[in-house]
Amino acid sequence: MRGKQRALLGAGALLAGTAIGVLARQKTPIAADRKSRDSFALHNRGLVPVGQSGWTRPEGEAPSYPVLDQSIDADVVVVGAGLAGSSLALHLAEAGLSVAVLETRQPGWGASGRNAGHVLPIFKDMALLDSFPMGGKAFREAFRAHHTIPFDLAEKHGIDCDAVRSGYLNAAVSRGEFEKFRDAFAYLERDGFQKVYLLGAADMQAAMGSTYYPYGVMFENGGRVNPYLLTHGIIARAAALGAKVYGGSEALSLEPVGTRWRVRTAQGDVLADRVVFCTAAYPTDIVPAFETCFYPLTAYALTTKPLGAEADALIMPGGATLAQVPVDLNPLVKDRHGRLILSSLPSVSHPQDGEAHFRNQLAWIHTVWPESRAMDIRLEQYWTGRVAMRTREFPGAYDMGGGVYGLMHFNAWGNVMAPLMGKLLAEGLANDAPDTLPFPLEKPRTVLYRPQQELLLRRTLLPVARLGQKLGLLR
């Protein structure tokens, strides 16, 4: 990129003082370079329009919600309409509270419309729950009952979002890594959360259509979902139950009014008893603490065009969502349209180059399914988004005092945890008993070096892992 910029600047200098017609011919590459710079910045920061997300295809973007242009009153105002905010609004509305939802753009614009579509129905650090109220018993029970919440909400409310409990398959080449992974998640079956299937070579070939990975651990209650359509389905149901939903309505200020709070937008305001920020990796600056308490990380996803019949029958014929053990370099979903959805972290030098990232993924596909080399598999859509990471394997549930809360930071685990935590927080607020929640509320803590995850993962660990994959040292 810098070399191209220098070349164009040099060409411009040589052309200074020449004829107008020659200068006019130079405008196209200069404009193209400016467009390229803009594309680099938007992709690098996960700010490309959500219409570039493959989850908006082929159905298209959902209808927009109106701008707030008046003063309104509510019991609770929810700032942010991703999966967490939408679930919170729905469950508050179901409990009979009046709710206003403010979204800077439109529901599902952020990570909830951009993530990889995995439904991973596990809790990663069970020991963490020991510090929760009642030793974590209440949260364990809530998670046991609702870790399938994407599927449950889709079924209950008739949301057409490709929510399929097709299983979550963790594939391994090494028997040692397989056994280590198996033992780490043995609690799922032992404690009655869900059935866990251990797959050998023949079962793996049947599930994957490939002999590449001889071992697998299948989580029965996992699968896939179109997160953009799920988000819009949830918020539409909340609106049907009386929640007032506003798009293009960025929260600009927060001020106390007696025992209540006023949230102002450019053209209106909401006066409410409580305010909950569900802004995750796209925070507003009106609560500065929510801007500095997570590690921002840019990720990408891409979709192929619908596979032909031969490739569709070959790749993941069992329909499970796929991850790899011990390093998940090529997570994969096959959706109802026969498209492959793959994801990873974008290159630091060319995050906007979808074709280059697709070639890397396609090389892995050809390795795992050698027959696919003769098949026509093409890129349909490429996009990036922002993830809010924490070092603690639990979402950020914050109490700022006086009725101001935060619910965010799902560590790339949001299709289950975001709607689940929204439901649980709604129950606590509806009962006017946030102190009885099955998880602790905390104060946000500023992280010491926010670019840490980007530098460690995108600049160091991922390139090394990709090199190891190319050399056959990591599969």
Q: Return d(Cα 88, Cα 83) in angstroms, integer.
A: 8
Per-residue model confidence (pLDDT) at position 372:
98
Q: How many domains does the chain have?
A: 2
> Does pLDDT of 250 surpass 70?
yes
Per-residue model confidence (pLDDT) at position 32:
56
Is 6 a domain residue?
yes
Peptide bond before 306: cis, by omega within 30 degrees of 0?
no
Average pLDDT over residues 79-104: 98
271 and 378 fall within a common domain: yes
Q: Return d(Cα 11, Cα 15) in angstroms, integer.
A: 6
35 and 141 fall within a common domain: no
We report the CATH number of the domain holding residue 199 as 3.50.50.60
Residue that the structure tokens 């006017």 belong to: 432
Token pair of 41, please?
């910045």
Residue 465: which pLDDT band, with cuts at 50, 70 and 90? Answer: confident
Q: Of the candidates 223, 132, 212, 217, which has an alpha carbon nearest to the alpha carbon of residue 173?
A: 212
Per-residue model confidence (pLDDT) at position 189:
95
Whether residue 319 contacts residue 165, with contact meaning beta carbons closer than 8 Å, is answered with: no
* Cβ burial, residue 8 (10 Å; 0-12/13-18/19+): middle
Average pLDDT over residues 267-283: 97
- At residue 331, φ and ψ (nearest 5 deg) are -60, 145
Q: Return d(Cα 378, Cα 376) in angstroms, integer.
A: 6
Is 266 a domain residue?
yes
Per-residue model confidence (pLDDT) at position 460:
84
Question: What range does the domain containing 24 cover?
Answer: 2-44
Is 64 a domain residue?
no
* pLDDT > 70 in the chain, percent: 93
> Does pLDDT of 17 surpass 80?
no
Is 66 a domain residue?
no
21 and 82 fall within a common domain: no
> Does pLDDT of 454 surpass 90?
no
Residue 33: which pLDDT band, with cuts at 50, 70 and 90? Answer: confident
Q: pLDDT tens digits for 135-148?
A: 999 999 999 999 99
31 and 81 fall within a common domain: no
Q: pLDDT tens digits for 226-246?
A: 999 999 999 999 999 999 999
104 and 197 fall within a common domain: yes
Per-residue model confidence (pLDDT) at position 10:
29
The residues that bridge with 405 in the sheet, in sequence order, are 276, 399
- Nearest 10 degrees: CA dihedral of 464, 332, 308, 319? 150
Is 180 a domain residue?
yes
32 and 131 fall within a common domain: no
* 119 torsion bin: left (phi>0), alpha (psi -120 to 50), beta (else): beta
Q: Return d(Cα 181, Cα 159) in angstroms, integer.
A: 34
198 and 308 fall within a common domain: yes
Taken as a whole, the chain contains a residue count of 475
Is 204 a domain residue?
yes
Q: Return d(Cα 363, Cα 416) in angstroms, integer.
A: 30
> Does pLDDT of 25 surpass 70?
no
The number of beta carbons lying within 10 Å of the beta carbon of residue 467 is: 11
Q: Return d(Cα 101, Cα 86) in angstroms, integer.
A: 8
28 and 78 fall within a common domain: no
19-28, 171-180, 211-220, 354-363: segment of lowest average pLDDT: 19-28
> Does pLDDT of 469 surpass 90?
no
Per-residue model confidence (pLDDT) at position 8:
27
152 and 40 fall within a common domain: no
Is 56 a domain residue?
no
34 and 145 fall within a common domain: no
Q: Is the dihedral of CA 349, 354, 356, 361 positive or negative?
A: positive
Average pLDDT over residues 457-470: 79
Per-residue model confidence (pLDDT) at position 285:
92
Q: Return d(Cα 390, Cα 442) in angstroms, integer.
A: 14
321 and 412 fall within a common domain: yes
> Does pLDDT of 388 surpass 60?
yes
Is 50 a domain residue?
no
Q: Which residue has the higher pLDDT, 156 or 18?
A: 156
Average pLDDT over residues 402-417: 93
Strand residue runs (E) in 281-327: 295-304, 321-325
18 and 139 fall within a common domain: no
Treating both helix axes as pointing N-terminal to C-terminal, what angle do 20-44 and 2-15 enclose, rounded to 10 degrees? 160
CA angle 284, 54, 165 (to 5 degrees): 95
Residue that the structure tokens 């200068």 belong to: 23
* 257 torsion bin: left (phi>0), alpha (psi -120 to 50), beta (else): beta
> Does pLDDT of 159 surpass 70?
yes
The number of beta carbons lying within 10 Å of the beta carbon of residue 289 is: 15
Q: pLDDT tens digits for 308-334?
A: 999 999 999 999 999 999 999 999 999
Peptide bond before 463: cis, by omega within 30 degrees of 0?
no
Q: What is the mean pLDDT of the chain?
A: 91
Token pair of 312, please?
């569709």
